[in-house]
Amino acid sequence: MVSDTLFFEAHLDNVAYDLAVSPPVLYGEEAKQAAKKYGSLDHGAYLWKNNENTVALKNKDSISTAAHELRHAWQHKYEHTRFNYNLSAKQSRFRAFFSRKIYQATYFFNRKEIDADNFAADYCRRNQLSYDLRKAKERILISKISRISISIGLIYMLSSIAYLINVSIT
């Protein structure tokens, strides 16, 4: 019986091999410290803004999270322009704060995230990791529901504004 950690590490190596990337991967306290300027570390993060090219993972437990973050490393390395990794590293703290807030607000619409989620689900499916696949599918579902509800909210808001403008000019 392979231990969970060994199982996790073997898959991490396998994902990195599949994607032809080899970023340093940090865990636990070290990962939290490294991710600090990106906001708090939820499950995992890919750190790139200062050219760290580093994956930060809270724990060695979720293969789907690891696959998601390694996919960001792949995007950064091979599809830099398509995934818009062009933000200047030297931002003022003020601008960095706002670009982080905008990223959070538009998270579910971000093509980086959609692509990383799809890759993670696909990896788990190909490797018959049923528990991780379920988690990955849940993430995709939440993301879809969020996109739909945010869109409906926006349409409702805009049509209300249009209605009010119409009422006030007639």
Cβ proximity to Zn ion, 109 vs 163, nearer residue: 109
Q: Least distance in Å: CB of 80 to Zn ion? A: 16
Q: How many residues bind Zn ion (CB under 5 A)?
A: 2
Query: Could you tell me if 68 and 84 are in contact, meaning their C-beta atoms sit under 8 angstroms apart?
Result: no
Please identify, among the stretches 30-38, 89-97, 113-121, 138-146, the one whose residues bind Zn ion according to the rule CB under 5 A: 113-121
Q: Least distance in Å: CB of 116 to Zn ion? A: 5
Cβ proximity to Zn ion, 52 vs 113, nearer residue: 113
Please identify, among the stretches 48-56, 111-119, 136-144, 157-165, the one whose residues bind Zn ion according to the rule CB under 5 A: 111-119
Cβ proximity to Zn ion, 16 vs 116, nearer residue: 116
Cβ proximity to Zn ion, 113 vs 132, nearer residue: 113
Q: Least distance in Å: CB of 117 to Zn ion? A: 8
Q: Which residues bind Zn ion (CB under 5 A)?
A: 113, 116
